[in-house]
Amino acid sequence: MRQSIISIRASSLGELFDCPARWAAKHIDGKTLPSSGAALLGTAVHAGTAVYDSSRLPGGTPVSADDAAGAVVDAIHHPEQEVDWDDDKPQEAERIALALHTRYCMEIAPHQEYAGVELSCERLEIADLGIALTGTTDRVRKTADGHGISDIKTGKTAVGADGVVKTAGHAFQLGVYELLAEHSSGLAITAPAQIIGLSTGKTVASQRSGIGEVNGARQALVGTEDSPGVLQHAARLIQSGDFFGNPRSMLCGEKYCPNFGTCRYRR
């Protein structure tokens, strides 16, 4: 009998291994949570920078950072999903998102040459594993070493006070983006993956930008006969249906897990 194909979003792969029960609640049972103010701030930065970079693709008409900033404001004030602002405020999120948008346009974008922006990648089905990979790759860039993917990450600790971008823990996700980008665009992705970090601090001094590189992001995904890769482990876990919980997860809390109120693994 042919096994059913289950989709895995690139951005959810880390969560599958962090707490399989939380992953299944969201991605199989379809349970949702309101977005957070921090997540919406990230969405807003993605929206504004995408307008700016898209306008600079071949054949486009470049817009200014100020003009592209309209997309930042729209994303904050007209969110597509419910937002739980908690202690955050939309005005504060707008102020920080606009500052980071400008910083990206002035400090990062001039050094990049993009071949694709917000590339919605076709579903990549891996039939023998019973999974399909999906996701949107933030950027495909051209470099002297060929093409590579770039992923924009916002967050309080995205860039340290020493200017170093936090790259640990993102390799699986970047590896999936590489596979998807290659499948979708037909371009060989041979350059290192980039994380473009933007720190969401409240003060100007703590709103930092930077770039970190991750080499060999795909290597851990695809295993060998003797040593299964991350995708094989993910497929086995999903096909087993044994979605155990991890109450020691950093995200085991009502803000992050739709199962929190009823989860038997917390008892």
Binding mask 10-29 for ligand SF4 (x = CB under 6 A): ---------x-xx-------
Contact 235, 129 (CB under 8 A): yes
Contact 3, 129 (CB under 8 A): no
Q: Is 257 in the site for ligand SF4 (CB under 6 A)?
A: yes
The stretch among 4-12, 51-59, 218-226, 249-257 that binds ligand SF4 (CB under 6 A) is: 249-257
Q: How far is the CB of 24 from ligand SF4 (least distance, A)?
A: 8
d(CA 123, CA 229): 20
The stretch among 109-117, 140-148, 159-167, 250-258 that binds ligand SF4 (CB under 6 A) is: 250-258
Q: How far is the CB of 247 from ligand SF4 (least distance, A)?
A: 4
Q: Is 201 in the site for ligand SF4 (CB under 6 A)?
A: no
- Three-class secondary structure of residue 11 per DSSP: helix
By C-beta, is 111 or 248 nearer to ligand SF4? Answer: 248
Binding positions for ligand SF4, 209-248, rule CB under 6 A: 245-247
By C-beta, is 136 or 249 nearer to ligand SF4? Answer: 249
Q: Among all chains, which residue has been given the structure tokens 């002297």?
A: 144
Region of residue 87 (left: phi > 0; alpha: psi -120 to 50; beta: else): alpha
Q: How far is the CB of 171 from ligand SF4 (least distance, A)?
A: 22
Q: How far is the CB of 18 from ligand SF4 (least distance, A)?
A: 8
Q: How far is the CB of 32 from ligand SF4 (least distance, A)?
A: 14
By C-beta, is 167 or 259 nearer to ligand SF4? Answer: 259
By C-beta, is 85 or 260 nearer to ligand SF4? Answer: 260
By C-beta, is 106 or 251 nearer to ligand SF4? Answer: 251
d(CA 137, CA 114): 12
- Residue from 12, 194, 200, 259 in contact with ligand SF4 (CB under 6 A): 259
Q: Is 265 in the site for ligand SF4 (CB under 6 A)?
A: yes
d(CA 75, CA 83): 12
What type of residue sits at position 105?
C
Q: Alpha helices, DSSP H only, in 115-219?
A: 171-185
How far is CA 202 from each of CA 69, 96, 186, rounded to the nearest angstrom?
Answer: 19, 7, 41
How far is CA 198 from each of CA 37, 88, 130, 162, 217, rounded to the nearest angstrom?
Answer: 16, 18, 36, 13, 21
Q: Is 252 in the site for ligand SF4 (CB under 6 A)?
A: yes
Q: Is 98 in the site for ligand SF4 (CB under 6 A)?
A: no
Burial (0-12, 13-18, 19+ Cβ within 10 Å), 188: exposed
Q: Which residues of this protein are in contact with ligand SF4, per CB under 6 A?
A: 19, 21-22, 245-247, 249, 251-252, 257, 259-260, 263, 265-266
